[in-house]
């Protein structure tokens, strides 16, 4: 049976989350710490020192790389790095094969802030074979996207001789991880390995029958020796400056960032998960594997920011958390990797975690002890595009 944080609505099935003796989750503890313990002034000074050091050492060239997806955080990162601290960044995107038209528009408004941008499209044969394999084996349709962005960036840093990389948030600081993980300023290879982002494998280990390493060149993470020789410095901006999605979107809108007019595609935010169709499917699998989805994530975040009370959050979870991705997104994903919709749903059912999900007398699935209501059958519809 799921156990929930006593302050927010996060269940104990969330990967990497932990609870203290009062039943408070590590993300809520961290949120408190961010308000009371962390010395933001000194962190900001440290950031300024890093920016100054790299700016001075690289006159006339790019000062840093900003990995961008086309979301609101990308625009915010460019705002801070270029407009506030006057660095000359190179923006780099892994071009997902499932990019949405809104994602494309928002990337253009980011470029219009006055930055050079590399929009790299890795070999679709490699992308699709690996995506299919990861989906069927792990129920994860975005593994390749994570593998790609986390590998492409150090590769470009090396090839272009740009040591400083300015990532956005530290997800473990914002959404819950162990104290050790949530307080690290850098995103390096060990960070990826320790958090199982890549299912404990590097691309070389994914190469087996049917997959060709040459089709996945950009996914190979460079060696530590090469990165050390470059003085590779991949920092989380969210470690040095307080991070808030809502603040970021307000700033991004000033630069032309557009939200989804019809409301959130999944969860509570009309400004999130807009750039890639597959990420929405990726989130949905959390519902099957862990018994929660984006409404839980977003509502918990809003509680931590003091903008939502727990009772309203529970109601939102009950009404919306199990929504399925738009049918069009699922169709597009099936076409992309060459499976039928029937195969998609049989794979989805394979990943429904029966430690959490039980069946009622009508043979319908429900989450035992769900915060939205026990024995509520999973009858959620698809989001309408």
Binding site for Zn ion (CB under 5 A): 5, 7-8, 10, 25, 28
How far apart are CB 49 and Zn ion at their closest, in Å?
Answer: 33
How far apart are CB 309 and Zn ion at their closest, in Å?
Answer: 13
Q: Which is nearer to Zn ion, 94 or 172 (CB)?
A: 172
Q: State how far the Cα of 309 lies from the Cα of 311, in Å rounded to an integer.
A: 6
Helix (H, G, I), strand (E, B) or coil at 127: helix
How far apart are CB 313 and Zn ion at their closest, in Å?
Answer: 10
Q: Which is nearer to Zn ion, 12 or 270 (CB)?
A: 12
How far apart are CB 300 and Zn ion at their closest, in Å?
Answer: 6
- Please say whether the beta carbons of 66 and 92 come within 8 A: yes
How far apart are CB 367 and Zn ion at their closest, in Å?
Answer: 18
Helix (H) or strand (E) holding 237: helix 237-240
- Please say whether the beta carbons of 44 and 319 come within 8 A: no
Residue 73: name the closest of 269, 321, 342, 283 by CA.
269
Q: Which is nearer to Zn ion, 101 or 306 (CB)?
A: 306
Q: Which is nearer to Zn ion, 1 or 385 (CB)?
A: 1
Q: Which is nearer to Zn ion, 26 or 100 (CB)?
A: 26
What phi-psi label fits residue 373: left (phi over 0), alpha (psi between -120 and 50 degrees) or beta? left
Q: Positive or negative CA dihedral for 351, 347, 338, 334?
A: negative
Residue 224 tokens read as: 């530590």
Position of minimal CB gap to Zn ion = 5
* Strand spans (E) along 250-307: none
Terminal CA-CA length for the chain:
34
Q: Which is nearer to Zn ion, 175 or 257 (CB)?
A: 175
How far apart are CB 304 and Zn ion at their closest, in Å?
Answer: 7
Could you tell me how far CA 344 lies from the centroid of its own chain?
Answer: 22
Rg for the chain, CA atoms, rounded: 21
How far apart are CB 341 and Zn ion at their closest, in Å?
Answer: 36
How far apart are CB 246 and Zn ion at their closest, in Å?
Answer: 18
Q: State how far the Cα of 139 lies from the Cα of 281, in Å rounded to an integer.
A: 10
Helix (H) or strand (E) holding 77: helix 72-78
Helix (H, G, I), strand (E, B) or coil at 189: helix
> In the chain, count of helices (H) and strands (E)?
18, 7
SS (H, E, C) 13-74: CCCCCCECCCCCEHHHHHHHHHHHCCCHHHHHHHHHHHHHHHHHHCCCCCCEEEECCCCHHH
């Amino acid at each position: 049976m799921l156990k929930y944080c006593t302050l927010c609505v996060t269940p104990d099935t969330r990967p990497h989350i932990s609870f203290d003796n009062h039943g408070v989750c590590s993300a809520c503890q961290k949120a408190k710490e961010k308000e009371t313990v962390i010395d933001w002034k000194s962190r900001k000074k440290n950031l300024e020192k890093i920016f100054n050091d790299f700016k001075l050492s690289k006159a006339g060239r790019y000062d840093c790389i900003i990995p961008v997806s086309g979301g609101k955080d990308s625009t915010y990162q460019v705002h801070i790095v270029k407009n506030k601290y006057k660095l000359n960044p190179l923006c780099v995107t892994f071009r997902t094969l499932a990019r949405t038209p809104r994602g494309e528009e928002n990337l253009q408004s980011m470029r219009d802030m006055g930055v050079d941008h590399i929009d790299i499209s890795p070999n679709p044969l490699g992308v699709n074979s690996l995506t299919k394999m990861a989906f069927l084996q792990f129920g994860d349709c975005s593994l390749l996207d994570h593998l790609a962005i986390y590998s492409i960036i150090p590769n470009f840093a090396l090839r272009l001789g740009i040591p400083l990389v300015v990532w956005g948030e530290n997800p473990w600081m914002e959404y819950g991880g162990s104290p050790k993980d949530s307080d690290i300023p850098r995103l390096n290879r060990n960070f990826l390995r320790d958090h199982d982002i890549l299912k404990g494998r590097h691309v070389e280990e994914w190469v087996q029958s049917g997959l060709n390493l040459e089709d996945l060149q950009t996914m190979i993470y460079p060696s530590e020796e090469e990165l050390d020789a470059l003085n590779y410095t991949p920092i989380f901006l969210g470690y040095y400056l307080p991070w808030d999605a809502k603040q970021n979107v307000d700033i991004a809108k000033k630069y032309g960032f557009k939200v989804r007019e019809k409301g959130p595609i999944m969860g509570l935010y009309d400004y999130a998960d807009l750039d890639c169709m597959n990420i929405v499917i990726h989130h949905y699998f959390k519902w099957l594997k862990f018994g929660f989805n984006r409404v839980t994530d977003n509502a918990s975040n809003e509680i931590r920011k003091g903008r939502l009370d727990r009772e309203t959050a529970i109601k939102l979870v009950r009404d919306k958390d199990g929504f399925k991705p738009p049918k069009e997104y699922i169709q597009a994903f099936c076409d992309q990797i060459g499976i039928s919709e029937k195969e998609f749903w049989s794979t989805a059912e394979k990943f429904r975690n029966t430690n959490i999900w039980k069946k009622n007398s009508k043979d319908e699935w429900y989450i035992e002890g769900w915060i939205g209501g026990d024995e509520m059958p999973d009858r959620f519809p698809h989001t309408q595009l």
